[in-house]
Amino acid sequence: MTNLFKGLEEFGLGNLSKKIEIYEEKNETDTKQSLLKKPVPITEEEVLFEKTFNCPVCGNDFKSKMVKSGKVKLLTQDTDLRPVFQHVDPLKYDAVVCPRCGYAALNRFFKYLTDTQISLIKSTISASFKGLSGSGDTLSYDEAITRHKLALVNSIVKKSKTSERAYICLKTAWVIRGKIENLSTEEETSENQMAIKNLQKEEEEFIQKAYEGFNEAILKEAFPMCRMDESTVSLLIADLARRTHKYEEASRWLSKILVSRNSNERIKEKAREIKDLMRESLSKNE
């Protein structure tokens, strides 16, 4: 298993990341984008704005780049619900990091901390956080991946709900997939191919962690989970199982969705799509 938290050393959190597990040992997309009729901007800078955040841990006001809603056109959605947009990848900007104290979370979870969580973050993260290096006009994939990992470490330290950790794992996998797709458009050098291979492995590990987390969360948390209803989470788990080659598990979830009165036709359609993909990979393996 590779160290999923590599890259955090620059924040002074290298030691911490070596020791922690995402979930306790055995014993959680709606990026609905209104499609605008206006011409779609094509550069990343054009769709970004600086949003001011107030850090719930240290009180610092800071600016973080965010994507203007409605400025990016949704092209498609992967079977694990990852939205794919035209020209830019807004998913890179979803992890918000306080540059002063190291508190990080996905945008949707950023404001919400209890007093206990604040002190846990202060003593475990802020105490060793070395500061965030300044970034340019846009975030590189590497910067985005590192920020997501920092959000994951924070979620573990603050003992967040399992679903939140699972959701950050999923979103980290999505940013890594974005990087892979980006690299795939470049020239095919052996260096490039090697980088893609390593990233694919890393993506799969985050998918596996997301799968484990949602599987556990579904047993002990109420819906909606990370703003997803039960049939959406079931669909997600089915696809995460497929992506990690747990086909029987995936089939069980898909059958459940297809017979359920609670799943709408859109979800059922996606379930059939996943079923077809699975049949394809099974026939390839024969």
Asked if 57 is part of the footprint of Zn ion (rule: CB under 5 A), the reply reads yes
In terms of CB distance, is 103 or 206 closer to Zn ion?
103
117 phi and psi, to 5 degrees? -65, -40
Does 60 interact with Zn ion (rule: CB under 5 A)?
A: yes
Quote the least distance from Cβ 273 to Zn ion, whole Å: 42
Give least dist CB 14 to Zn ion, A.
Answer: 20
Closest distance between Zn ion and the C-beta of residue 103, in Å?
Answer: 5
Site residues (CB under 5 A) for Zn ion, limited to 83-112: 98, 100-101, 103
CB under 8 Å to 67, separation ≥6 — which residues? 47, 48, 88, 90, 93
Instruction: Residue 210: name the closest of 180, 173, 251, 250 by CA.
Output: 173
Q: Does 55 bind Zn ion (CB under 5 A)?
A: yes
Closest to Zn ion by CB, 156 or 173: 156
Which tokens sit at 209?
């962690």
Write down the least CB distance from residue 56 to Zn ion, Å: 8
In the complex with Zn ion, which residue's Cβ is closer, 119 or 192?
Answer: 119
If we measure between CA atoms, which residue out of 81, 202, 87, 191 comes closest to residue 138?
87
Kindly state the smallest distance separating residue 211's Cβ from Zn ion, in Å.
32
In this structure, the chain runs to a length of 286
Give the residue among 121, 109, 203 at the shortest CA–CA distance from 165.
109
Asked whether the beta carbons of 10 and 133 are under 8 A apart, the reply is yes
Q: Which residue, 157 or 173, is less far from Zn ion as judged by CB?
A: 157
Q: Any idea which residue has 């699975």 for tokens?
A: 278
Q: Give the footprint of Zn ion on this chain (CB under 5 A).
A: 55, 57-58, 60, 98, 100-101, 103
